Amino acid sequence: MSDYAAAFAAARQAARPLAAVPAATTTAVLHGLADALLQHADHVLAENARDLARMPAADPRHDRLRLTPERLQSMADDLRTVAALPTPLGAVISEKALPNGLALSKVRVPLGVIGIIYEARPNVTFDSLALCLKTGNACLLKGGSDAAHSNAALLEVAAPVLVRHNLPAAAATLLPPERAATEALLQAVGFVDVVIPRGSQGLIDYVRQHARVPVIETGAGVVHTYFDETGRLDYGQAIVLNAKTRRPSVCNSLDCLLVHQRRLPELPALLAPLAEAQVQVAADVLALGALTGHYPPHLLRPATEADFGTEFLSLRMAVKTMPDLAAALDHIDRYGSRHSEAIVSEDAAHVDQFLRQVDAAAVYANASTAFTDGGQFGLGAEIGISTQKLHARGPMGLDELTSYKWLVRGAGQVR
């Protein structure tokens, strides 16, 4: 860790003054970052093109890596949205007076130094920076080599804005893309308060297995939608199409459609919009029989066991027939990743049972899983979608990047 000790120590030193930055200053910084991003869009896009040139277009990560003028505008809009949100720092979570006269209040405070490890997702750079600044945290950004030029360009844009507002330069530090930096970050006991990995299951597993600092897991998304016996066909068509094709490479996209066996005659109609979108379908025996002759043969194949529990991150998905809701719940429990799950049903009892019994960070009834997103949940942006249960779960926004402390006011009490 010696090669990175100075950077880690600087981040730790920066965390203390960041916690005391006035909210008005943070707001001005975020607006400044949005302006600078758009002013330097050509430079950022040119550096992003260098990264894209090294990655095959067929790679599922290519879409995540790609920046466009529209995506930069969206990033700038997210910065302004976060700027407009109230800071959670200092918010009183609860307060009470004890019989002995002590007054207790539980208030939100920064986590301190947050390490974010991510792969081919340059948008994470500014999302992380915005959320950490708004919550008074210093951030150590460890992007992957696939996005090295893009991430460096974004930090080049951000650095002058931080300096102009007298924020510590170490408020946001981009670590080298080499694996050694990841290993050092995971061992940075005493410098780093928490590490948040964003990326493949392999990355998340590696971080969990090697970290000596606390970790918040943002797990892979193996996402299901169950089309129930009473599900509306028009709802199902729209929801399945949106969940699968809006952005296939993201973690909330649909991987496996579970369909009640009594709805198999309508399966071709349910999947007709997917055929137009050129979605490849791996179907179990019953679903395959229902689709044969009604779905493009070059897009249809028999499913194997490996297709269930797979996060495809592309225009591919699995279909499996379910005899009832209980079987669907069992399948999701076995193959799901605790990320996002949905039911399409007009049976209120089935909807209630699904919402109560499915163990996932976000559970939907008659809506697309594409909504599992910090911006869509009104959080402004997100630093990841946690699939664990300790500290944070689901899209992590401002509140999830804080801890709390107890403030105790007395008048000479002793115990």
- Cβ count within 10 A of residue 410: 12
Strands (E), 129-275: 138-142, 172-174, 194-198, 223-227, 254-260
Domain with CATH 3.40.605.10 in the chain: 5-216+396-409
pLDDT, tens digit, for every residue of 167-198? 998 999 999 999 999 999 999 999 999 999 98
Confidence of residue 2 (pLDDT cuts 50, 70, 90): low
What is the Cα–Cα distance from 102 to 98, expressed in whole angstroms?
5
CATH topology of domain 223-371: Aldehyde Dehydrogenase; Chain A, domain 2 (3.40.309)
What is the Cα–Cα distance from 383 to 319, expressed in whole angstroms?
31
Beta bridge pairs of residue 408: 104
Closest-CA residue to 331 (of 250, 226, 231): 226
Whether 105 contacts 94, CB under 8 Å: yes
What pLDDT, on the 0 to 100 scale, is given for residue 1?
Answer: 53
Whether 126 contacts 75, CB under 8 Å: yes
Phi, psi of 330 (to 5 degrees): -65, -45
Whether 225 contacts 342, CB under 8 Å: yes
Whether 172 contacts 9, CB under 8 Å: no
Whether 87 contacts 26, CB under 8 Å: yes
What is the Cα–Cα distance from 364 to 344, expressed in whole angstroms?
9
Token code pair at residue 308: 């269930």
> Per-residue pLDDT averaged across 226-247, rounded?
97
| β 194-198/280-283 pair status | unpaired
DSSP labels for 346-358? S-HHHHHHHHHH-
- Structural Rg of the chain based on CA atoms: 23
Query: Residues of the chain with pLDDT > 90: what percent?
Result: 86
What is the Cα–Cα distance from 7 to 314, expressed in whole angstroms?
37
CATH topology of domain 5-216+396-409: Aldehyde Dehydrogenase; Chain A, domain 1 (3.40.605)
What are the strands of the beta sheet with 92-97, ordered from one edge? 92-97, 103-110, 402-409
pLDDT, tens digit, for every residue of 111-134? 999 999 998 889 999 999 999 999
Closest-CA residue to 402 (of 132, 185, 104): 132
pLDDT, tens digit, for every residue of 304-339? 999 999 999 999 999 999 999 999 999 999 999 999
Characterize 23-54 residue by residue with b for buried, 16 or more Cβ atoms within 10 angstroms of its Cβ, and e for exposed.
eeebbebbbbbbebbeebbeebbebbeebbee
Confidence of residue 59 (pLDDT cuts 50, 70, 90): confident
Token code pair at residue 108: 């939100």
Q: Which residue has the higher pLDDT, 143 or 379?
A: 143
- What DSSP state is assigned to residue 400? G
Confidence of residue 21 (pLDDT cuts 50, 70, 90): very high
- What DSSP state is assigned to residue 215? B
CA angle 386, 392, 396 (to 5 degrees): 65
Contacts of 299-302 spanning 24+ positions with Cβ under 8 A:
299/275
pLDDT, tens digit, for every residue of 348-403? 999 999 999 999 999 999 999 999 998 899 887 788 889 888 888 999 999 999 99
Domain with CATH 3.40.309.10 in the chain: 223-371
> Per-residue pLDDT averaged across 222-227, rounded?
97
> Per-residue pLDDT averaged across 29-33, rounded?
98
Confidence of residue 301 (pLDDT cuts 50, 70, 90): very high
Closest-CA residue to 222 (of 57, 328, 334, 325): 334
